[in-house]
Structure 1
Amino acid sequence: MVSTFSDDREDPLGWLAFAQSGVLTTAQATCLLGPGVVRGRVRSGRWRSVCRGVLLTGNGRLTRDQQLWVAVLATGPRAVLAGATAAAEAGVRGLRREPLHVLVPATRRAGRTVLRRLPVDMVAVVVHRTSVLPRAHLQIARPPRTTTARALVDAAGWARTVDEAQAVLAAGCQQRRVTPEEIRAVVDALPRAHRRHLVHRAVDDIAGGRGGTVGDRLPAAVPATRPAPAGSPTPAHRRGRANPLAGRVLAGVGGARGRRATGSCASPPGSSAPAPTRSRTPSTAPCWRRAGTPEHESWTVPVPWD
């Protein structure tokens, strides 16, 4: 269901439903309409009971905005979106959309029974507790959420791996949704934050111009920094098709039934290096292994059966 703008400016229920994407708590609806009217609309099918204490002013499937409101309202008072969920709502792309992360103060506990009985069209909700949630870390939004800097710091701490944590921080800074100084200020306010030292190192690298870590993760088989010598072959495509733009290709990939042959690449003009040869002796070396000097390099590549 999509909430529509109410023409009646004196209708508080319409304005509240519009502000919360059609998701209300039972207490809100009862205060505005009364318990009898609310029960009648739910029993007649006009409204839908999503979970205990949360109603939908419609009977359709939940949209993305409604799922966010259900996660916040079902968790309880003072709950806000956090982590990757809040960062995605702030505009950071490439983050996980599920599950939904909600942050609550450490002085209260969320209703675990309610969150375990969500409908099938509602994604999973993960509730986190914190003892440090100042007003400066809260973003005025609908639904309420943490600031982008706090969301990225929390997402890095809740990430499954270290690489994912670094990727979250780099995405927020590279997409210009947050600055490294803002992330540092949040980390300084959280002395017990998970992966605190990792966040500091990652932010220092990003601020120093080394935020892109893709070059550091290239496989060793890819000569990323050293250009190939003149006349050297180009490794064959993973499916067996050689690069048609290459000057010379020694052999293609034969797949599981191919054999391996060792040969020398073509030497530059005027060089006394031997011509390419082929050996029928099987080799266990990988296809990207190289040996020799830049003037005369040998490649080991798999070739198909004759």
Structure 2
Amino acid sequence: MRIPGDDASRLEWLLFGQSEVLTWAQATDVLPPGRVRHLVASGRWHRVCRGILRAAPGGPYTREQHLWVAVLAAGDGAVLAGLAAARAGGLRGMWRHDAVDVLVPHQRRAVGPIRRLPPGLPAVRVRRARHLPATDRQVGRPARTSMARSLVDAAGWARTDDEAQAIVAAGCQQRRVTPAELGAVLDRLPRARRRHLIRQTLHDVAGGAEALSEIDLVRLCRRQGLPVPDGQERRRDADGRQRYLDAYWRRWRLHVEVDGAHHMDVRHWAADLRRQNRVWIEGDRILRFTAFDVRHRPSEVVAQLHAALTAVGWRPAPLGAVVAALATTTAPKARRAG
């Protein structure tokens, strides 16, 4: 829609601000009820669902109109939440998006899913929020939860733990939110779903692993008794731009790249080759794994990591030393003689 001019009416500004979606109450506040009924009956406006209108004759809905339908249909105090709110705030990702989640105040009567929406519109899932302070709200059109609250909610509502971790990691990797901001939301929500899992993911993100594949690599090293990488390493490429290495063991100058789907693109592939050549020129060793290998072929990844680290001087601690160290840390302290 074009920005209304200085002489625009209240209705024009309302439709511009809400992507041509409005409630019956809003429409009859600026137009006589008979005029609104005529616009709908003539097909110039379209009835979306009970109490919600679209100032258009029909056709596919835009993404913004999906969101406005969800918030307006949910009623007073409703705000976008979860993945819908995170995406409205700029989060990128290909997670399955079956419904638009909306939060309403807890004291309101439970609404449940909003039904009888036209074909092509995603379902609207209404949830009640017992605790939604002003700090967890974001100014936007339509209103939505803050990015940190959106990601915590989306992780809690995700279908699987892996999807929950991927959502949290993506928010941090894309610089949409910081681990500290997510941690502050968890502090305010002691009953948040997957609270421990989100905390654990934030701990790994704060250590330098931001993509889920890098987090999986760190945890794989811990489980298998391999030294944990120092985290992401900053380097400048041949053009002087700052780049980050996925995982780096500074002591042994070993660099590991975990390749996601974007590395299959020929443009990324050529850039990756140039970066890999530069790593070798500077004297470092480099290993490359796919994200699929890290998650589904861990034994092969561990074998190659073990071989590479051993080749540059790392030696695993003797089993006896490990057992003794564990015994020291777990044995009860001796009481003082009375």
TM-aligned CA deviation for residue 55 of structure 1: 0.5
Shift of 1:204: 0.8
Which residue among 276, 281, 295 is the counterpart of 1:218? 295
Question: 1:222, CA displacement in angstroms?
Answer: 6.5
- Measured after TM superposition, the shift of residue 227 of structure 1 is 4.2
Q: Where does 1:190-201 land on structure 2 (aligned, <5 Å)?
A: 190-201=189-200
- Residue in 2 that maps onto 1:49: 47
Sort the Cα spacing of 1:7 and 1:110 in 2 relative to 1 into closer, same or farther, 3 A: farther
> TM-score of the superposition, structure 2-length normalised?
0.63
Per the TM alignment, residue 7 of structure 1 is displaced from its structure 2 partner at its CA by 2.4
Distance 2:112 2:38 in 1: 28
Aligned pairs for 1:12-161 (under 5 A) are 12-60=10-58, 61-94=60-93, 95-109=95-109, 111-112=111-112, 115-161=114-160
Number of paired residues? 226
Amino acid at match of 1:219: H
Instruction: Identify if the C-alpha distance between structure 1 residues 49 and 110 changes in structure 2 by more than 3 Å, giving closer, same or farther.
Output: farther
Q: Contact conserved, 1:138 with 1:147, CA < 8 A, in 2? A: yes
Aligned residue for 2:126, secondary structure, equals strand
**3-state SS of the aligned residue for 2:53?**
strand
| Gap change, CA 1:117 and 1:224, over 3 Å in 2 | same
| AA of the residue aligned to 1:209 | G
Letter in 1 for 2:142: P
The structure having more radius of gyration, on CA atoms, is: 1
The one-letter amino acid of 2:131's match is V
Which residue does the alignment assign to 1:287?
none
Of 116-125 and 138-147, deviating more is 116-125
Q: SS of 1:129's equivalent?
A: strand
**How far is the alpha carbon of 1:189 from its aligned partner?**
0.6
| Counterpart-to-counterpart distance in 1, 2:120 and 2:212 | 37
Distance in 2 between residues matched to 1:221 and 1:137, nearest whole Å: 39
Partner SS state of residue 128, structure 1: strand
Structure 2 contact 170–210 (Cα < 8 Å) conserved: no
More helix by share: 2
Deviates more, 1:200-209 or 1:21-30: 200-209
> Shift of residue 28 of structure 1?
0.4
Alpha-carbon displacement from aligned partner over 1:117-147 (angstroms, at most 9, x marks no partner)? 1111211111111110001100000011000
- For residues 210 and 7 of structure 1, the distance between their equivalents in structure 2, rounded to whole angstroms, comes to 49
1:16 counterpart letter in structure 2 = L
Per the normalisation by structure 1, the TM-score is 0.70
* 8 Å Cα contact 1:72-1:143 kept in structure 2: yes
The CA deviation string for residues 79-134 of structure 1, in whole angstroms up to 9 with x for no partner, is: 01100111111111113333111111111135458x11111121111111111000
Distance 2:298 2:180 in 1: 37
Say if 2:207 is the partner of 1:208: yes
Q: Which residue of 2 aligns with 1:7?
A: 5
